[in-house]
A = this chain, B = another copy of it.
Amino acid sequence: MSQAPSWDPVEASVGYALKQAQSALHQAMDEALRPLGLTVAQYVCLELLGRSPGLTNAGLARSAFVTRQSMNLVLRGLQRRGLLSRPAVAQRGRALPSRLTRDGARALRDATEAVRVVEERMLAPLGAASRASLRECLAACAAALTG
């Protein structure tokens, strides 16, 4: 699995380029996070909780674009490793808000740095203006499909 595709990338659609870039990023993140003992899904969960403490399983699943079932397994794994804590019983409703523990915050710090390096490598060919434009165009595309 090392030979380049024979298909002319010039004819590639935006959708194909989108999948290509996302696949490459996922693989690069996976390789960067493996030494830290984290999967991409686990990192995303920690990152979301770092930015929005108290998110519930359903909220995390939506933000990470995975199912509630998958995120539930991620949460249990991280909780078992002591990287996050959830109340045993719901305070109100059925929501069980998760929060990072001390160890979880430390693991997130290292993982964030590793991912930052990967993203910087990905964006190296682009200037500041192109980066902002890329992010805005991607957000607009997503909004056009979901809205």
Contact = CB atoms under 8 A, between A and B. Distances in A.
Given A7-B52, A25-B15, A137 B130 contact: yes
B22 A139 contact: no
Interface in A77-107: none
11 contacts: A1-B62, A4-B62, A5-B62, A7-B52, A14-B123, A14-B138, A17-B135, A18-B138, A20-B65, A125-B141, A130-B137
Contacts of A59: 5-6
Contact of A24 (B29, B122, B146): B146
A136 to B, nearest CB: 8
Copies of this chain, how many? 2
A15 B125 contact: no
Which of A14, A25, A51 neighbours the largest number of chain B CB atoms within 10 Å of its CB? A14
A101 to B, nearest CB: 21
B17 A139 contact: yes
A115 B1 contact: no
Nearest to A51: B7
A138 B58 contact: no
